[in-house]
Copies of this chain bind each other. A is one copy, B any other.
Amino acid sequence: MVNDLINSNSSTTQILILKAARKIFIKKGLSGARMQEIADEAGINKALLHYYYRTKDNLFNAVFMEALKHIQSEFFIILNSDRDLFDKIRFFFDRYISFLQENSFLPGFIIHEINQNPDRLVEFFKNAGIRPPINLIIQVSEEVKNQRIIPINPIQFLLNMLSLAIFPIIASPLIKGIFEIDDPDYKDIIEQRKKELAEWFIDSIMIKKSSNEEQKE
């Protein structure tokens, strides 16, 4: 029988299946993936696949929820970390881009599947009890109020950070095509982003003390 919790005994095969399903679903999406292909990838037969996960939808949900949790928790861990705003920005670009480099198909997969069926997201957030990153939103508002950064809507602030980090990863084949860049060169570009993006972004929002008010503070 299938255990809901992944325990020590029955876990091996179940995890094997999940890994295979992850690989295939993330690459091909729900409608593009084939149960047979997942079974092959896991090195087992279709009957056993259905023995553990009765339906394709079942298996897909397991993969999707796990993926969403993964990408989301990484994001929230960074944003809720106990740091100064600027450090947090540095931390974000470095760590989140690294994370995305190692999971380059994840965000595209999630976005595509949410577009196919937005209800899945609602369900997920309800089950996982996920809340917006109020921490950072407050932090940004505070820094605006303290005139350390320019007046900016915290949502726009976050949207910019996410865009700059995620888009170059999910659109990489397209970008490589447009700019005629090969794989190693593009990797270099992403590495450069990891190094420079944070400082540029900080610079773009930071209010520099002008010389005629330097006596203050």
Oligomer copy total: 2
Q: Is the CB of B156 within 8 A of A160?
A: no
Q: Is the CB of A179 within 8 A of B167?
A: no
Q: Is the CB of A32 within 8 A of B155?
A: no
Q: Is the CB of B204 within 8 A of A174?
A: no
- A158 contacts which chain B residues (CB < 8 A)? 179
CB closest residue in chain B, given A118: B173
- Closest-CB distance, A144 to chain B (whole angstroms): 14
Tell which of B132, B168, B203, B204 touches A178, judged by Cβ atoms closer than 8 Å. Answer: B132
Tell which of B28, B160, B171, B196 touches A164, judged by Cβ atoms closer than 8 Å. Answer: B160
Q: Is the CB of A192 within 8 A of B153?
A: yes
CB closest residue in chain B, given A171: B111
- Closest-CB distance, A57 to chain B (whole angstroms): 14
Q: Is the CB of B111 within 8 A of A156?
A: no
- A177 contacts which chain B residues (CB < 8 A)? 114, 118, 121-122, 125
- A111 contacts which chain B residues (CB < 8 A)? 108, 170-171, 173-174
Tell which of B105, B115, B166, B180 touches A115, judged by Cβ atoms closer than 8 Å. Answer: B105
- Closest-CB distance, A92 to chain B (whole angstroms): 15
